[in-house]
Chains A and B, each alone.
Chain A
Amino acid sequence: MKRGNSLILPAWLSRRFDAHPVRRPARLPLPVPLAGVAGLVALFVAIPVVYIFLRAAGADLDDWQRLLQARIWSLLGNTLLLVAAVTGGALVIGVSMAWLTERTDLPGRKVLRWMFAMPLAIPAYIGGIVHLALLRPRGGLLPQMLESLFGQPVLTPSPLGFLGAAFILTLFTFPYVYLLSAAAFRSQHASLEEAARTLGCKSWQAVLFVTLPALRPGLLAGALLVALDILAEYGTVALLRYETFSSAIFVQLSGRYDRSAASVLSGVLVALAMIILWTELRVQGQARFTQMDGSWRPAPLTALGRWRFPMLTLALSVVFASLLVPVGVLLAWSVVALLDPQTLQEVVRTGSRGFLSFALNSLWTSALAALVAVTLSLPVAVFSVRHPSRISRFVARFCQVGYAIPGVVIALSLVLLVNRAAPVLYGTPFVVVIAYVLRHMPQAVRASEAALNQLSPALEEAARISGRTALQAFRQVTLPLILPGLLAGGALVFLTSLKELPATLLLRPAGFDTLAVRVWVWAADGFDAQAAPAALLLVLASATPLFFLLRREQLFK
């Protein structure tokens, strides 16, 4: 085993940390059953997409016409505007914070690295609930503080609508870009900037014209991941009353009798996401930087000088808004909730279900989804890594399609499909698990591929020579060795499944609540304090696997 590969970052980026390049893969002559299984997995993953496209194509001409006349264009405009704004915002914050922690003598940069990554454990809608409660004009904590300060109401901008949604989503998606660019900054050769300096560039010019362009493929991949995330986002935009495709589909699903309009919107949304995903996969393929070799040494740190404290203030305000405020407010609310006997009773036991059961439901559905996703990803990864061919590459890429299917769309297709195809499953929590697996399969496939890529095929060959069949060799040699990588992939699926909201809301059976659903329902009914303990537990439950995932990264060693 070589050094641990990164999972939060795309596989290609972590591959640069390999001690030595991976040897030519083996061509063991029995990929037929394997290809069959991998193909079945791809078919399973394909179900929702194919179904949605069929439904969209089969929708009444009337539906298409009515939607084309007005809705689609305004939704498209709204969605693209938000995607562009958040992606841009995340790039600016992510890259600049990465530069500050990796390339300057900013005080406390080791701690800040963690602080910039941890917002990944906070679902954006929970951040949104907190910030909304703070910022609402007149009613929010901030305006009220201002009012008591000035003795009269102070008009503050409303966080509802586009600006608020863009602000919140930027705060909770920039860590993707931060992690990617920080890793890229770190792995860059010192000589790159030094060469630019000897050629007459000032320090800032070297960063602008040499360092950043060299990071471009990584940044583009990060930006596209953020864009896919925003396309799929439901909770935050619904909370802040900004209409995008995802929230409009949710409205169609929960507010109408007629599902063909939802299918039409979903078809357009998935097509849009597919374009972004396709670009991301292409970028991912091209983005191979130079290997980190023996001559690598870290670039020298830029002395910030008198900019030290202004920059530190900037960095701390990002941490404040994206981490300290949400966690702090949730803590405060939780204390309030636990001190108030009536609220406490609601929290501990509501309706027919207790708090413990929400937590357990969250944990077992996410854990089962992680187990299933990783298991299903194995044949796909082995097929594509050990038997590279056009077909195996296609199968592996196809399994990435979950990134392009927002939770609402998976819910729509499962609602319609499961009752017809598998009525036994209908109305059980396993439909929720299937949704998690479909949606988060790409992360599992990427993790398994990365883990396998780190392992020399000679080990499997040695096992074959020593008398093991392909399957035995996989079980006795490959599996124990890639297990840490698989666990990390599972942790990632677990983490994202815990946070999943729209599909859970739409697919959960009666009486089956998860932490995410509980937080959402309580907050929607206006019981912020009551929602806080569940939200806090959700954040903590997400932070734990995130912590271990980050520990595998070079940045956090």
Chain B
Amino acid sequence: MLPRRLISSLFLLVSALTACAPAAPSVSNTPPAGQASIGGKLVVYSGRSEPLIRPVIDAFKAQNPRIEVLLKAGSNSELANALIEERANPQADLFITTEVFTVQSLAQQGVFKSYRPAGADRLPAGSIGPDNSWVGLSRRARVIMYNTDLVANAELPKSIFDLTDPKWKGKIAAAGSTNGSTQAQIATMRQLLGDTETEKWLRGLLANKVIFFGGHTDVRKAVGTGEFALGLVNHYYYHLQVAEGSKVGIIYPDQGEGQVGVITNATAAGVVKGAPNAEAAQALMDFLVSEQGQNLFAAQNYEYPLLPGVALRQGVQPLDAFRLAKVDVASVARETKATFDLIEKVGLP
């Protein structure tokens, strides 16, 4: 019978495809020395977008050829949702975010296994979560980038609050509310300035017809080409755009007396409790805070490494030179719902 044959051959095809899709790692008889003997599938949920995490993972894989890394990149909160959903049935081994509030909040909900990576003692205070639930990886600053063709030096905004000035109407781009760095900035501002001031600022941005893109890459490229005059970004997007040859400038805002200072945040990672391959996850964690891993963040992506002694990439201004906003991570993390409620209330896209 044709149909039965057709169905069974389709079935075979499908099972063959599914079987070969997660190709089994080639078995080697002579395992390389040390760590490299770890193998298996390592599922990484990453809030860092793919191009920002892949170089690090590739370097890790070069050291651990028997580990197959499966990457799911998305927004911090989407992946955090998934982790909460999966607590009874964990799928992921390691979670990497672009800010610490999400990992802190997840740690409060018991999503992470306690793990202190090798070399953690060298990290500065405050970059390890309570009970070693998470570890900070790299630091970034929230800055304003501008197109030097379109904005004269005299006009440059000095504060993020200048962005609500009607003279910038329709000339600003930023990342939307699904972006972790944007969320973290709003969460930080709520703690520093209170709900009312933050809401006023957000409404000011909306009234100024700020275009909120899905991610910062769109923002930096649009400022680079001059589609927009100003962009609210993390500092390394400025450097990435300069590297593409655009005429752009950078402003570390709010340096004046009485102003909040530059808002910074740190990327972080945690090993998932009940992870199917915790061993590999821990190996990757170790790698991320190792000299080599930290150097990749600094060199490839212009970030501020957390490990002392790792050099900044040429052109990146040291953070010591600036007045920095100070936040209490634990208390901000407890306010997550209130932050989202505010975002919802003003209707940030």
Instruction: Determine whether A and B are in direct contact in the complex, meaning some CB atoms lie less than 8 angstroms apart.
Output: yes
Q: What residues make up the interface of A, taking CB atoms closer than 8 Å to B?
A: 66-67, 70-71, 74, 136-139, 153, 158, 160, 238-239, 241, 243, 248, 251, 253-259, 261, 350-352, 357, 360-361, 363-364, 367-368, 371, 415-416, 419, 423, 426-427, 429, 475-476, 479-480, 483, 506, 508-512, 521, 524-527
Task: Choose one: B73, B84, B183, B341; the contact of A255 (CB below 8 Å).
Answer: B183
Q: A136-B225, A241-B213, A360-B17 are in contact. Are A510 and B349 (CB under 8 A)?
A: no
Known interface pairs A74-B347, A254-B74, A415-B85. Does A371 touch B10 (Cβ–Cβ under 8 Å)? yes
What's the Cα separation between A274 and B74 when bound, in Å?
Answer: 31
B residues within 8 Å of A by Cβ? Answer: 1-3, 7, 10, 13-14, 17-18, 21-22, 43-45, 49-51, 54, 57-58, 61, 68-75, 77-78, 80-82, 84-86, 88-89, 91-92, 176-179, 183, 211-215, 217-218, 221-222, 224-227, 336-337, 340-341, 343-345, 347, 349
Q: Identify the closest chain A residue to B209 (Cβ).
A: A161
A255 to B18, Cβ gap below 8 A?
Answer: no
Q: A360-B21, A509-B91, A510-B91 are in contact. Are A525 and B51 (CB under 8 A)?
A: yes
Contact yes or no, A257 B336, CB < 8 A: yes
Task: Pick the 8 closest A-B CB pairs, nearest first.
Answer: A511-B70, A139-B225, A255-B178, A510-B72, A254-B78, A526-B217, A427-B91, A138-B226
- Is there contact, CB below 8 Å, between A241 and B211? yes
Chain A residues with CB below 8 A from B84, complex form: 257
Contact of A510 among B50, B70, B214, B215 (CB under 8 A): B70
Q: What are 20 sample pairs from A and B whose C-beta atoms fall under 8 A apart? A: A66-B341, A71-B347, A138-B226, A138-B227, A239-B214, A251-B177, A254-B78, A254-B178, A257-B80, A257-B84, A351-B54, A364-B13, A364-B18, A367-B10, A419-B85, A419-B86, A480-B2, A511-B71, A521-B73, A525-B51
In addition to A139-B227, A257-B336, 10 A-B residue pairs with Cβ atoms within 8 Å of each other are: A66-B341, A138-B227, A241-B211, A367-B13, A483-B2, A509-B91, A510-B43, A511-B72, A524-B49, A525-B49
| Complex contacts, A475 vs chain B, CB 8 Å | 1, 3
Residues of B close to A483: CB separation below 8 A: 2-3
Q: Give the distance in Å from the alpha carbon of A512 to the alpha carbon of B44 in the complex.
A: 12
In the complex with contacts A137-B227, A371-B10, A510-B72, A70-B86 CB distance below 8 A: no
A351 CA to B86 CA in the complex, in Å? Answer: 24
Structural contact, A352 and B70, CB atoms closer than 8 A: yes
B202 to chain A, nearest CB (A): 13
Q: A360-B17, A526-B218 are in contact. Are A71 and B344 (CB under 8 A)?
A: yes
Across the interface, which residues of B come within 8 angstroms of A137, CB to CB?
A: 227
Complex: how many Å from CA A197 to CA B82?
Answer: 66
Residues in B whose Cβ lies below 8 Å from that of A239: 214
Shortest CB-to-CB span from A211 to chain B, Å, is 43
Q: Which of A137, A254, A416, A476 has the most CB of B within 10 A?
A: A254
- A510 near B71 (CB under 8 angstroms)? yes
Give the residues in chain A near B7, CB-CB below 8 Å.
371
A364 and B72 contact, Cβ closer than 8 Å, known pairs A139-B221, A243-B349, A258-B337: no
> Is the beta-carbon distance between B177 and A255 smaller than 8 angstroms?
yes
In the complex, the answer to whether B77 meets A257 with C-beta atoms within 8 Å is yes
In the assembled complex, the Cα of A527 lies from the Cα of B240 at a distance in Å of: 13
Nearest-neighbour CB distance to chain B for A367, whole angstroms, equals 7
- Give Cα A483 to B6, complex, Å: 11
Which chain B residues lie closer than 8 Å to A251 at the CB level? 176-178, 349
Instruction: Tell me the complex Cα distance, A524–B211, Å.
Output: 15
Question: In the complex, what's the smallest C-beta–C-beta distance from A378 to chain B, in angstroms?
Answer: 11
A497 shortest CB reach to chain B, Å: 14
Contact across chains for A350 and B336 when beta carbons are under 8 A apart? no
Residues of chain A within 8 A of B212, CB atoms compared: 241
Pair A138/B225 contact, Cβ less than 8 Å: yes
Chain B residues positioned under 8 Å from A241 (CB to CB): 211-213, 349
Residues of B within 8 A of A479 (CB): 3
How far does the alpha carbon of A350 sit from the alpha carbon of B212 in the complex, in Å? 28
Closest to A426 in B: B89
Q: How far is the CA of A549 from the CA of B302 in the complex (A)?
A: 51
Q: B89 touching A525 by the CB < 8 A rule?
A: no
Measured in the bound complex, the distance between the Cα atoms of B349 and A71 in whole Å is: 10
Complex-state Cα separation, A490 to B41, whole angstroms: 34
Cα–Cα, bound, A159→B215 (Å): 18
List residues of chain A with CB within 8 A of the CB of B345.
66, 70
Q: How far is the CA of A479 from the CA of B7 in the complex (A)?
A: 13
In the bound complex, do residue B50 and residue A419 qualify as a contact, i.e. CB atoms below 8 Å apart?
Answer: no
Bound together, the chains give a CA A289 to CA B49 distance in angstroms of: 54
A351 to B91, CA, bound (A): 19
- Contact residue among A160, A261, A352, A416 (Cβ-Cβ distance under 8 Å from B344): A261
Kindly report which residue of chain B lies nearest to residue A479, judged by CB atoms. B3
Shortest beta-carbon distance from A42 to chain B in Å: 23
Q: Which of B72, B213, B221 contacts A509 (CB 8 A)?
A: B72
Asked whether, in the complex, the Cβ of B45 is within 8 Å of the Cβ of A510, the reply is yes
A160 touches B72 (CB 8 A): no
- Write the chain B residue with the least CB distance to A433: B14
- For residue B245, give the distance in angstroms from its CB to the closest CB of chain A: 13
Are A136 and B21 neighbours in the complex by a CB distance under 8 Å? no
Q: Indicate if the CB atoms of A139 and B217 lie closer than 8 Å.
A: no
Among B22, B69, B78, which residue has its beta carbon within 8 angstroms of that of A351?
A: B69
